[in-house]
C-alpha cells in the first residue's frame, strides 16, 4: 500500500515545480522541441519507472512529452508519485528540456442524473470504459474511466430533479468501423435506445434512460 499524500502536500513539496496536481493525479508537460529528444526522454522515464516499480502514463508527441502519475492502489497521489516526479524532472533537466505547466490540462465529462445506476451501464457500454469506485460519494453511480487513460472520464453527479430539456450533453464516440454495430447493440442492451440510424454507418444516434445523447461514429460515409 502506498503512503497517500494530498494534492496540497504534493504541490508544496520541493522539486515539484514542473508538475501540477489535477484531481487524483499529477501531470507534467515538457516541451522537447523535437521528436528525437522526446523519444530519448521517454526512454529515460521508462528506465526510472522500472527501477522504482512505479509506472506513469506517458504521451509522446512531436515537440512535447506529457507525463501523468498516480497510485492506482489508493486512487490518488502518494509518496511514490512524489519520488517519481522528482526523478523525471531531474532527467528532463539533463536533456535540457523545460516544463510547460501552463499547458497541463485534463478533461472530464459530468452528467447530471436522477437515476444514476440506470444511466451508468449505458455509458459504460457505449464508451467501453471501466467503472471505478467513486472517491467523493457525490453520486450513486460509479465514474467511468478509459482503461488506457487516454480518453476523458465520465462522472455522474446526482440531481434532485429531472430536467426536461431535450438533451443536457452530447458526446461523439469514434470507434473502429468493424466494431460500431456491436457497440450500438451493447448500448441498447444496457438500457439505452436507438434515436436514429439515418446516417449509419457514419454515425448512430443513441440515448440513455434520461435522454442524454451520444453518437457512435465511424469514418464510413465520410467524403
CATH of the domain at 163: 3.10.180.10
Q: Which of 96-105, 116-125, 160-169 has the lowest mean pLDDT?
A: 160-169
For the whole model, what pTM was predicted? 0.76
Q: Which of 67-76, 114-123, 154-163, 190-199 has the lowest mean pLDDT?
A: 154-163
Q: Which of 36-40, 153-157, 197-201, 215-219 has the lowest mean pLDDT?
A: 153-157
pLDDT attached to residue 162: 67
User: Pick from 85, 103, 121: which residue ends a domain?
Assistant: 103
pLDDT attached to residue 135: 52
pLDDT bucket at 40, cuts 50 / 70 / 90: very high
Whole-number average pLDDT of the chain: 88
User: Pick from 81, 103, 125: which residue ends a domain?
Assistant: 103
Residue 27 lies in a domain: yes
Number of domains within the chain: 2
Question: Over 90: is that where the pLDDT of 175 sits?
Answer: no
pLDDT attached to residue 112: 78
9 to 13, 25, 176, 196: CA distances (angstroms): 6, 13, 42, 50
Domain of 34? 7-103
Question: Over 80: is that where the pLDDT of 116 sits?
Answer: no
Query: Does 66 or 154 have the greater pLDDT score?
Result: 66
CATH code where residue 21 lies = 3.30.1360.20
pLDDT bucket at 222, cuts 50 / 70 / 90: low
Q: Considering the chain, what percentage of its residues have pLDDT values greater than 70? A: 91
Question: Over 90: is that where the pLDDT of 172 sits?
Answer: no
pLDDT attached to residue 223: 43
pLDDT bucket at 166, cuts 50 / 70 / 90: low
The closest of 144, 139, 131 to 173, measured between CA atoms, is 144
Instruction: Judge if 86 and 119 occupy the same domain.
Output: no
User: Pick from 103, 119, 134: which residue ends a domain?
Assistant: 103
Instruction: Judge if 160 and 208 occupy the same domain.
Output: yes
pLDDT bucket at 133, cuts 50 / 70 / 90: low
Amino acid at each position: 500500500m502506498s503512503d497517500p499524500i494530498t494534492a496540497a502536500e504534493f504541490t508544496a513539496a520541493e522539486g515539484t515545480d514542473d508538475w501540477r496536481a489535477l484531481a487524483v493525479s499529477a501531470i507534467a508537460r515538457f516541451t522537447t522541441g523535437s521528436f528525437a529528444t522526446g523519444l530519448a526522454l521517454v526512454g529515460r522515464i521508462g528506465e526510472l519507472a522500472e527501477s522504482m516499480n512505479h509506472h506513469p502514463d506517458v504521451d509522446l508527441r512531436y515537440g512535447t512529452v506529457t507525463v501523468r502519475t498516480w497510485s492506482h492502489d489508493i486512487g490518488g497521489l502518494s509518496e511514490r508519485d512524489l519520488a517519481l516526479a522528482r526523478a523525471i524532472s531531474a532527467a528532463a533537466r539533463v536533456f535540457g528540456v523545460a516544463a510547460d505547466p501552463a499547458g497541463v490540462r485534463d478533461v472530464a465529462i459530468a452528467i447530471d442524473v436522477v437515476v444514476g445506476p440506470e444511466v451508468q451501464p449505458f455509458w459504460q457500454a457505449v464508451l467501453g470504459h471501466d467503472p471505478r469506485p467513486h472517491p467523493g460519494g457525490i453520486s450513486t453511480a460509479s465514474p467511468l474511466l478509459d482503461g488506457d487513460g487516454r480518453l476523458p472520464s465520465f462522472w455522474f453527479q446526482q440531481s434532485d430533479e429531472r430536467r426536461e430539456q431535450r438533451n443536457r450533453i452530447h458526446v461523439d464516440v469514434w470507434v473502429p468501423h468493424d466494431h460500431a454495430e456491436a457497440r450500438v447493440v451493447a448500448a441498447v442492451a444496457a438500457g439505452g435506445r436507438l434515436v436514429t440510424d439515418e446516417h449509419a454507418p457514419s454515425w448512430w444516434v443513441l440515448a440513455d434512460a434520461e435522454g442524454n445523447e451520444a453518437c457512435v461514429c465511424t469514418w464510413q460515409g465520410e467524403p
